Amino acid sequence: MPSDLQFMRLALEQAECARSQAEVPVGAVLVHAGVVVARGANCPIGTCDPTAHAEIMALRAAGRALGTYRLIDTTMYVTLEPCAMCAAAIVHARVGRLVFGAWDPRAGAVGSTLNLLALPSQNHRVDAFGGVLMEECAALLQTFFATRRA
C-alpha cells in the first residue's frame, strides 16, 4: 500500500502543474481505500474563481468520482496547510484524515493561525498531520514567490 510520502509526492506533482500555469504552486490529492480518486491544482487566477484552491478542486472531483459529497474514509494530501475556506470544506466533506506538507504561518487554519478542525461545534472530526515532505513543499513555494518578486 502506498505511503503518505508517495501520496504527498503526487500532491507535489499537482503543485508543479499549478506553477506551470503561473498559479501559486499548491497541489492536492484525495485517496480512498489506498487509491487516488481525485487530484487538484491551485487555479483561481486561470479560472477567475477565488474558491479554486487545490483542496476545493480535489473535493469537487472526488464528489463527482465517488457520487457523493460525503467523502467518508478518505485522506487528503495537500502541499500547504489549508486556509480557513479549505479547512472548513474538508470538515463539511467529512474527510477522515488530512496530511499536509508546509505550514502556513500567515493563513493556515489547521494550527498556524487557528485550528478550524478542532472547534468543539464541528459535527465531524478530521485527523490532521502536518510536515510531510515539508522542505520540498516549502521550497517550491519559496522559489515561486522569489521569482515573482525579482
Q: Assess whether 81 carries a catalytic annotation.
A: no
Strand arrangement, sheet containing 35-41: 35-41, 27-32, 74-80, 97-102, 127-130
CB 75 within 8 A of CB 98: yes
- 13, 55, 135, 136: the catalytic one is 55
Cα angle 111-115-119, degrees, rounded to a multiple of 5:
155
Which cell numbers hold the place of 14? Answer: 499537482
- What SS3 state is found at 119? coil
CB 39 within 8 A of CB 65: no
Active-site residue set:
55
